[in-house]
Structure 1
């Protein structure tokens, strides 16, 4: 079995795996990186907690935290098919990023991962250059979209035969089936209900009151799943999906406008969501009034059998 001892680190730096007790410290690190790159923090505490709680991720093996000589957290990495590496702006240029990326790839090879995916902000040229130098190729463009809501958004009537209501207990399994069917067109693998739920409806910030769903009779045909973070002044839409045989009827537009209005009534004046080029949904979001706030690139690297 390959040696996965902590990677080379500059003198005085130390590393250890992450635990759930580290969520706040990791959040401070990630937001410091976002503030330096994009001028504002986008990631909330619940996102960090959800990543550490991913089904299949073993924090003691799949995560690494790096501390500077005075004991401050300055870098972190995790890997579970996808991977993330963050280095505090004040500690870049010292080899921490390349060292953690090498650790990520070593861990992925150990467990037989065939392909690694990592997303880098387009504002972080160093990260993009590092990934490309290690054989990563651009897979897709990703955009964070936003809509400003100075007044309550108008909500159009749903198409004939369609009813809209808020997400209720008991909708979980049908929403899983619908969203995974919709995302099968571009995602690399289908998530089990347990994994999907951990990342959506079981999150502490899942907001059923701002997650509208659409029915044709008793069949769920459209869903918007939203997150309602108490420490954020913005609403966030996590997933949007419409059943294939009910597309091009305006259902997604109606659901999005419902979510915007529901967030507005809670006092939010901005709503955001992420999408990427493989979904083909950018034009839909632009038609409902959303614009691009910032962009990232999704990079992918195949790990050959020989490498593994």
Structure 2
């Protein structure tokens, strides 16, 4: 493996951030009080671009209010002479990154102000700020600046990223599985041994986080989540649609002897805490129902601990969520998957009747 140069050298952060002059907008950092106007702005952009989603004010407030968010330095809002929001930028990192430090950039320009060069200058500001965040992180790790674009976004957005030095790095598929009466029945999945399917509960929340961190540690781009990250962004969370699988009699000795068992799981095992081995955590994004033309339950995260793969834990949790969606009168089940998922998820979802509806691309600059 090549020796990495210091993160400060790789990031090549500028001492000052570039000014944004295109469009003659007035710029200032965002605050939580901007929740309503930023939500309306984001939804206007999403509608213009044909995005398959809309935001709620609760979602925006959670994004702006995350404890690790530095709104003063990592956000910009651009207003016209009538004080109407016409452009927005957010740059953010996550506190749990341990093997790759990542900075994500989000933003947009109001449809009425496109073509003036605002987007290019906003992205240049975001990249400069992202490099500053990386340089000051103190984490001597591989680094990544990332951005996302829907496949149906304007071609200009994809070109904007590639012209700025981003490369398409990962592809995601948004999958749908009908649940109406004329759809195939949701299959039964029987667990064996000491595995038991149970509804999600707050008492199992941290154990589920530990299972997620273990399940995704060999997934490209994934990093461990702190409890603060894990519980952020739950305004649309549907605990009644979420399920976990626990092992009532885990081989504690074998797990403790496994050098890949993470410190959090070790501590939980030594304390005799429940061991969650698989999970399906779901949300109700009702604001998207009219946009998509049908109601649905959405599986936010699904996974199985590495030591438990092949024992149908995640399948059992997923089909339990699917049944809960159907029992609530939802028309479909929806989820998003990395097309190169190492656990073979694509084949699993296809076998359950999921088909692709939308797609997106993650662009990145690797440092």
The TM-score, its normalising length taken from structure 2, stands at 0.75
CA distance in 2, matches of 1:226, 1:95: 39
CA distance in 1, matches of 2:212, 2:239: 16
Aligned residues: 299
| Equivalent position to 1:189, from 212, 223, 232 | 223
- In the alignment, which residue of structure 2 is the partner of 1:174? 207
| Equivalent position to 2:160, from 116, 130, 143 | 130
CA change 1:77–1:278 in 2 (3 A) is farther
CA contact (8 A) 2:216 2:222 kept: no
CA contact (8 A) 1:136 1:300 kept: yes
- In the alignment, which residue of structure 1 is the partner of 2:271? none
| Equivalent position to 2:22, from 4, 9, 18 | 9
CA distance in 2, matches of 1:197, 1:41: 21
- In the alignment, which residue of structure 1 is the partner of 2:86? 74
- In the alignment, which residue of structure 2 is the partner of 1:206? 237
- In the alignment, which residue of structure 2 is the partner of 1:306? none
| Equivalent position to 2:148, from 119, 134, 137 | 119
Q: Structure 2 stretches of 5 or more lacking a match?
A: 1-13, 93-102, 136-142, 249-273, 290-294
| Equivalent position to 1:279, from 338, 341, 353 | 341
CA contact (8 A) 2:18 2:124 kept: no
RMSD (Å), alpha carbons? 2.2
CA distance in 1, matches of 2:27, 2:350: 43
Q: Structure 1 stretches of 5 or more lacking a match?
A: 304-308
CA change 1:55–1:6 in 2 (3 A) is farther
**Secondary structure at the counterpart of residue 285 of structure 1:** helix
Counterpart mapping for 1:1-308 below 5 A: 2-4=15-17, 6-11=19-24, 13-38=25-50, 40-80=52-92, 81-112=103-134, 114-124=143-153, 125-151=155-181, 154-161=186-193, 162-186=195-219, 187-199=221-233, 203-217=234-248, 218-229=274-285, 231=287, 232=289, 233-280=295-342, 281-303=345-367
Which has the higher Rg, Structure 1 or Structure 2?
A: 2
CA change 1:275–1:227 in 2 (3 A) is same
CA change 1:222–1:17 in 2 (3 A) is same
**Secondary structure at the counterpart of residue 111 of structure 1:** helix
CA change 1:148–1:178 in 2 (3 A) is same
Deviates most, 236-245 or 189-198: 189-198
CA change 1:285–1:46 in 2 (3 A) is farther
